[in-house]
Copies of this chain bind each other. A is one copy, B any other.
């Protein structure tokens, strides 16, 4: 019987996610009836190939077995669990007990000799002549001697492959292995049109190329651009989302398409396809990937509106339906009609859009509102793209209901925006990230956490200034392996909303050019640089599964750690959620989660200011003053042990 396979998503309907080249823990209950002993195996192969790689699974108690599987390359893989009854082990167990009790059953050597000969064939004769010797055994003493000799060969015996009669589990485990960027990425979003260094001038892709050094210096590895395509003029929105655009208004980049082209064109005011290619190349030389925005919607001026009117919903009066959230209407945007009679043609055109940019070297996409398009479009489109390049990464921008967000992650999106922007209080933060790291979605839903976006000037940033920005930055970047900021408004602490209570930015860059001085001395770019450097230096911060919150006796202080099992690297973070007042308290660390002994002394060094402290035991004092810094990102290292380690219970924590 093989049950309770892990990681299994919806009974195998969807693939679990893994990182190519990294161990993936596969588990299953494997058992037989009665007191039968069993062996369990895991085997895997790339989808579409024939040869399995087989490995034994180790028992971890309560009839559960585990193996760490390494899928060598990106792409879809099949994993299967096998089980078989271990007749040889059962015979050894029973014969040993009988021999120990002093009895001799002449059937023992006969049965054992046969089982041993079978096993010997599977290990290419490495059991030597033991089967023959056993066949000649004639008493308890000699039998015990052979059994003891077998004990010496335990490893050889355990190493034998499963017999051809081994039972496979009824369901396979589909797993998508991905390149490391899918699991660990630092995103920087900005509008190319604001990138000119000449005041009042429309920025270009070339201007943006000049800002690559800045982005690289900050430590980001993904530079994400809102749509770079021609913007429609019909019903164009003016500044501040005004329904009427002035002659100089640049329009929303999400109103895609004009006479200059659609989803595969570059807006003339930004440059040319050649400029784009150059940007991609220059970014690559800085260690940065360019991410594009996939927004499957059209301005009324999009070439598709004339060429493929059947791809749009027509109302009884013959007009094309514009985007709408009644009573609000978005006249500058026509949604596509996925119920069109030419569904095949439309889907193919959308895939072609993505493949067009993939062929130009884009391997990261942020998908705009995927939840407003059919699920089957995404499942098919993402799978189709992965056939061309399994390394393409898709981020789902679905700020919607939990089940819908999870479905999108299951069907293929690598990363997903989250509710982080609306999780302000300690209990909300702890509960939400516990769910993300340890809930049922952990096998397929990879959070990508943003303190702000062009659509979201989070409430938590609107009051508190620098202290709030630093707190939200450290929370995002150190709670989640994937995170991003929308800059330069973020590092420049821009916090004015369009209206009281609104989450829209005043002077929103969605509708106008906004030139800001990234060299402004009030910028927190140095904190951003240090946080990203810590993320690169610490494997612990590059995955989400090890997240552990630690108790602090102060509800404004959040404390958590992450640890990389392979290297032992551990990072402990403390954030003060109060932007106004110093907060202090005692943290009570789960030392086991940090890989520390209960009585060990250890050094913690703050990656944000290089201050170092020596701590002992679980209870330690912390104080964070928003006037200086309201976050610790502490690298842990066991300190040299004192010559006479205490044999008593640990003393209460020494102050920092």
Interface residues of A (CB under 8 A from B): 1, 3, 10-11, 13, 29, 31, 33-35, 62-63, 93-95, 97-98, 100-101, 103, 106-107, 110-111, 170-171, 315-317, 319, 324-327, 371-375, 401-404, 407
What are 5 A-to-B residue pairs whose CB atoms are below 8 Å? A31-B403, A63-B401, A98-B326, A110-B316, A111-B316
Known contacts A11-B11, A324-B94; A372 and B34 CB within 8 A of each other: yes
Residues of chain B within 8 A (CB-CB) of A107 are 315-317, 319
Residues of chain B within 8 A (CB-CB) of A31 are 401, 403-404, 407
Central interface residue in A29, A316, A325, by most chain B CB within 10 Å: A316
Residues of chain B within 8 A (CB-CB) of A34 are 371-373
Given contacts A94-B324, A100-B327, 14 further A-B contacts (CB under 8 A): A1-B403, A3-B10, A33-B373, A33-B374, A35-B325, A62-B401, A62-B403, A63-B402, A94-B326, A97-B326, A97-B327, A107-B316, A107-B317, A110-B316
Q: How far in angstroms is the closest Cβ of chain B from A335?
A: 9
A36 to B, closest residue via Cβ: B372
Q: Are A33 and B98 in contact (CB under 8 A)?
A: no
Q: Are A371 and B101 in contact (CB under 8 A)?
A: no
State A401–B3 Cα separation when bound (angstroms): 14
State A372–B374 Cα separation when bound (angstroms): 51
Q: How far in angstroms is the closest Cβ of chain B from A317?
A: 6
Residues of chain B within 8 A (CB-CB) of A35 are 325, 372
Known contacts A327-B97, A327-B101; A106 and B317 CB within 8 A of each other: yes
Residues of chain B within 8 A (CB-CB) of A327 are 97-98, 100-101, 103
Q: Are A375 and B1 in contact (CB under 8 A)?
A: yes
State A110–B316 Cα separation when bound (angstroms): 7
State A277–B607 Cα separation when bound (angstroms): 84
Residues of chain B within 8 A (CB-CB) of A94 are 324, 326
State A98–B327 Cα separation when bound (angstroms): 5
Q: Are B11 and A171 in contact (CB under 8 A)?
A: yes
Q: How far in angstroms is the closest Cβ of chain B from A452?
A: 25
Residues of chain B within 8 A (CB-CB) of A319 are 107
Q: Are A404 and B33 in contact (CB under 8 A)?
A: yes
Central interface residue in A11, A325, A374, A375, by most chain B CB within 10 Å: A11
Q: Are B63 and A403 in contact (CB under 8 A)?
A: yes
Q: How far in angstroms is the closest Cβ of chain B from A91?
A: 10
Residues of chain B within 8 A (CB-CB) of A95 are 326
Residues of chain B within 8 A (CB-CB) of A103 are 327
Residues of chain B within 8 A (CB-CB) of A326 are 93-95, 97-98, 101
Central interface residue in A13, A29, A33, A63, by most chain B CB within 10 Å: A33
State A1–B375 Cα separation when bound (angstroms): 9
Q: Are A170 and B404 in contact (CB under 8 A)?
A: no
State A373–B34 Cα separation when bound (angstroms): 7
State A510–B484 Cα separation when bound (angstroms): 72
Q: How far in angstroms is the closest Cβ of chain B from A31?
A: 5
Q: How far in angstroms is the closest Cβ of chain B from A346?
A: 15
Central interface residue in A62, A98, A107, A111, by most chain B CB within 10 Å: A107
Central interface residue in A13, A34, A94, A373, by most chain B CB within 10 Å: A34
Q: How far in angstroms is the closest Cβ of chain B from A136?
A: 14
State A374–B34 Cα separation when bound (angstroms): 8
A106 to B, closest residue via Cβ: B317
Residues of chain B within 8 A (CB-CB) of A407 are 1, 3, 31
Residues of chain B within 8 A (CB-CB) of A170 are 13
Central interface residue in A103, A326, A404, by most chain B CB within 10 Å: A326
Q: Are A403 and B10 in contact (CB under 8 A)?
A: no
